[in-house]
Structure 1
Amino acid sequence: MHIRKLTASDAENYLKLCETIDEESEFMLFEPGERKLQAQRQIKQIQSGVCEVFVCAADDGSLVGYVAAVRGQVQRTRHRAHIIIGIRQTYIGQGIGVKLFQALEKWACEEKLHRLELTVMTHHTAAVRLYKKMGFIIEGTKKHALKVKGQYVDEYVMSKLINE
């Protein structure tokens, strides 16, 4: 397994990875089939500097996980990035999340970002544990932030300050 930046040639495989994770997990924002992102649009976002994506490739070259950072677009938010992470179900628990976060944080430090933030369903204990391990703290709870399978679900807002 190795971690690297997403490239233009990864676009189709990256979208397939996102769609597969959406199908495998109830913890992602998108329902299966709901994602409308197009490969070329994703690449344009990355090339413009709006978004940075790191992927985890298995030994056979297939993509098994990703972490994306979407930077603030206005002057007052350019110091922060919102983080999204997804890992294929069969690869969870193998240290991929830690490696993805390490690559992302190295990039964030080089880019002089100051704040990383994310949201996570409060009952997704494995993810909360990973985020805390990586230095994120819970800032608050968004009550009934999502509706999953007809039930309201709370989300934690978590953040980590870097480059202090």
Structure 2
Amino acid sequence: MSEIVIRHAELRDLDALRQINAQPEVYHNTLQIPHPALEMWEERMKHPPAGRKQLVACIDDVVVGHLALSVEQNPRRSHVATFGMSVCGKQRNRGIASALLSSMVDLCDNWLRIDRIELTVFVDNAPALAVYHKFGFEIEGTGKNYALRDGQYVDAYFMARFKPTAK
């Protein structure tokens, strides 16, 4: 199996990111909508909001996963970050999500002074829940009818991970 390489996203990744997020199995479990425009991804990459870091996972120089980390800009929440992640449907179960999360956790814990990482995940997304639990995320609550998916409202869990305290 080829090595998974994590790096910062670049403009050359635009079309690959659009294609990954256009896959039904990806937008089904994210807040993306079908048929994402290349212009939308150009805007996201060329003019990211303050505090946004974007990582991609590559196998043999092909982008197969994406993680966007947003560090809160409010001074009272500057210790908090949120993220969203997507993995190419054909590349699932190869450790891509774990590789992205590992790099993100290292970035947060050791470089960005982030003590709390938050996420939202649909309650029926078992693979995502498993990998989030693996990295120490815990369910803090449930959002009822959180988002529309395939014409029906779906609940979501609010999860968080705290930086381990030094011993």
Name the TM-score class by shorter chain: 0.7 to 0.9
Aligned to 1:122: 123
The change in CA–CA distance for 1:83 and 1:41 in structure 2 (over 3 A counts) is closer
- Which residue of structure 2 aligns with residue 43 of structure 1? 46
1:24-80: CA deviation from partner (whole Å, max 9, x where unpaired): 3311101212566241442332xx752111111121x22110111111111111111
Give the structure-2-normalised TM-score: 0.86
Contact 2:20/2:64 (<8 A) preserved: no
Which residue identity is paired with 1:72?
E
- What is the RMSD of the two structures over their aligned residues, measured on CA atoms? 1.9
Work out the number of aligned pairs and report it: 159
- Consecutive unaligned residues of structure 2, counting only runs of 5 or more, are none
1:37 aligned counterpart, secondary structure: helix
Distance (whole Å) between structure 2 residues aligned to residue 151 and residue 88 of structure 1: 24
Residues 1:41 and 1:16: Cα distance change in structure 2 (over 3 Å): closer
CA contact (8 A) 2:20 2:88 kept: no
Letter in 2 for 1:123: D
Q: Distance in 1 between matches of 2:97 and 2:148?
A: 25
> What's the counterpart of residue 144 of structure 1?
145
Paired position in structure 1 for 2:81: 81
Specify the code of the residue in structure 2 equivalent to 1:16.
R
Corresponding letter in the other structure for 1:77: R
TM-score (norm. length: structure 1): 0.87
Unaligned runs of 5+ in 1: none
